[in-house]
Chains A and B, each alone.
Chain A
Amino acid sequence: MDRETVERVARIAHLKLTEEELEGYSRDLSEILEYFKVLDEAPGSEEFGFNPVEISDVLREDEPRMETDPADLLRDMRTYEDYVRGPRLT
Chain B
Amino acid sequence: MTSLASVNGRYRMFRSFIESIDEDAPFHFSAKDNLTSSAFETCAGSRVLEGYRPAFDAAPISRLSDIGGQLLGKTNMDEFGFGTFSANSAYGIPLNPFDTERACGGSSGGAACAAAVLDGHVALGVSTGGSISCPASFCGVFGITPTYGRVSRYGLIDYANSLDKPGILSARAADLSRYLPVISGRDPRDPTSCMQPDLVLTGRKLRSVAVPETALEGLSRDVESAFRTAIGTLEGMGVEVETVDMPTLRYAMPAYYILATSEASTNLARYGGMRYGPQDGDLALRFDDYFTDFRSRYFGDEAKRRILLGTFTRMVGFRDRYYTKALQVREVVINDYRRVLDDHDAVLAPTMPFVAPRFDDISRMSALDSYKADYLTVPANLAGMPHLSVPCGYDGGGMPIGMQLVADHWCEDVLLSAALDWEKGFDVRRPEVME
Query: Using Cβ atoms and an 8 Å threshold, which residues of chain A touch B199?
Result: none
> Does B276 lie at the interface of the complex (its beta carbon under 8 Å from any beta carbon of A)?
yes
> Does A82 lie at the interface of the complex (its beta carbon under 8 Å from any beta carbon of B)?
no
Q: A76-B276, A77-B274 are contacts. A13–B311 as well, Cβ < 8 Å?
A: yes
Cβ–Cβ contact B195 & A5, under 8 A: no
> Does A75 lie at the interface of the complex (its beta carbon under 8 Å from any beta carbon of B)?
yes
Cβ–Cβ contact B257 & A15, under 8 A: no
Query: Using Cβ atoms and an 8 Å threshold, which residues of chain A touch B248?
Result: 42-43
Query: Using Cβ atoms and an 8 Å threshold, which residues of chain B touch A73?
Result: 55
Cβ–Cβ contact A29 & B287, under 8 A: no
Smallest CB gap from A51: residue in B: B162
Cβ–Cβ contact A16 & B292, under 8 A: yes
Q: A1-B312, A13-B311, A86-B274 are contacts. A58–B188 as well, Cβ < 8 Å?
A: yes
> Does A85 lie at the interface of the complex (its beta carbon under 8 Å from any beta carbon of B)?
yes
| Distance (whole angstroms) from the CB of B247 to the closest CB of chain A | 9
Q: A1-B312, A15-B308 are contacts. A52–B383 as well, Cβ < 8 Å?
A: yes
Cβ–Cβ contact B311 & A47, under 8 A: no
Among B279, B284, B287, the residue within 8 A (CB) of A77 is B279
Which bracket fits the contact residues of B? 35 or more
| Distance (whole angstroms) from the CB of B141 to the closest CB of chain A | 26
Cβ–Cβ contact B325 & A42, under 8 A: yes
Cβ–Cβ contact A76 & B51, under 8 A: yes
Cβ–Cβ contact B307 & A15, under 8 A: yes
Could you tell me which residues of chain A, from 8 to 42, have a CB within 8 Å of some CB in chain B? 9-10, 12-17, 21, 25, 28-29, 31-32, 35-36, 38-40, 42
Q: How far is the CA of A6 from the CA of B311 in the complex (A)?
A: 10
Task: Name the residue among A14, A50, A58, A69 with the largest chain B CB count within 10 angstroms.
Answer: A14
Q: A15-B307, A28-B368 are contacts. A76–B382 as well, Cβ < 8 Å?
A: no
Query: Using Cβ atoms and an 8 Å threshold, which residues of chain A touch B292?
Result: 14-16
Q: A25-B305, A51-B162 are contacts. A32–B195 as well, Cβ < 8 Å?
A: no
Could you tell me which residues of chain B, from 280 to 302, have a CB within 8 Å of some CB in chain A? 281, 283-293, 295-296, 299
> Does B254 lie at the interface of the complex (its beta carbon under 8 Å from any beta carbon of A)?
yes
> Does B394 lie at the interface of the complex (its beta carbon under 8 Å from any beta carbon of A)?
no
Query: Using Cβ atoms and an 8 Å threshold, which residues of chain A touch B315?
Result: 9, 12
> Does B53 lie at the interface of the complex (its beta carbon under 8 Å from any beta carbon of A)?
yes
Smallest CB gap from B149: residue in A: A53
Could you tell me which residues of chain B, from 292 to 351, have a CB within 8 Å of some CB in chain A? 292-293, 295-296, 299, 304-305, 307-309, 311-312, 315, 321-322, 325-332, 334-335
Cβ–Cβ contact A85 & B331, under 8 A: no
Cβ–Cβ contact A56 & B191, under 8 A: yes
> Does A64 lie at the interface of the complex (its beta carbon under 8 Å from any beta carbon of B)?
no
| Distance (whole angstroms) from the CB of B371 to the closest CB of chain A | 7
> Does A65 lie at the interface of the complex (its beta carbon under 8 Å from any beta carbon of B)?
no
Q: A45-B332, A76-B53, A87-B283 are contacts. A53–B308 as well, Cβ < 8 Å?
A: no
Among A10, A39, A51, A89, the residue within 8 A (CB) of B326 is A39
Cβ–Cβ contact A77 & B281, under 8 A: no
> Does B208 lie at the interface of the complex (its beta carbon under 8 Å from any beta carbon of A)?
no
Smallest CB gap from B367: residue in A: A28
Task: Name the residue among A29, A31, A67, A76 with the largest chain B CB count within 10 angstroms.
Answer: A76
> Does B275 lie at the interface of the complex (its beta carbon under 8 Å from any beta carbon of A)?
yes
Nearest 4 A/B pairs, CB to CB: A52-B384, A87-B290, A72-B55, A42-B251
Given A15-B292, A68-B56; 5 other pairs, CB 8 A cutoff: A36-B322, A45-B328, A45-B332, A48-B331, A53-B409
Tell me the A residues contacting B by CB distance below 8 Å.
Answer: 1, 5-6, 9-10, 12-17, 21, 25, 28-29, 31-32, 35-36, 38-40, 42-45, 47-58, 60, 67-69, 72-73, 75-78, 84-90
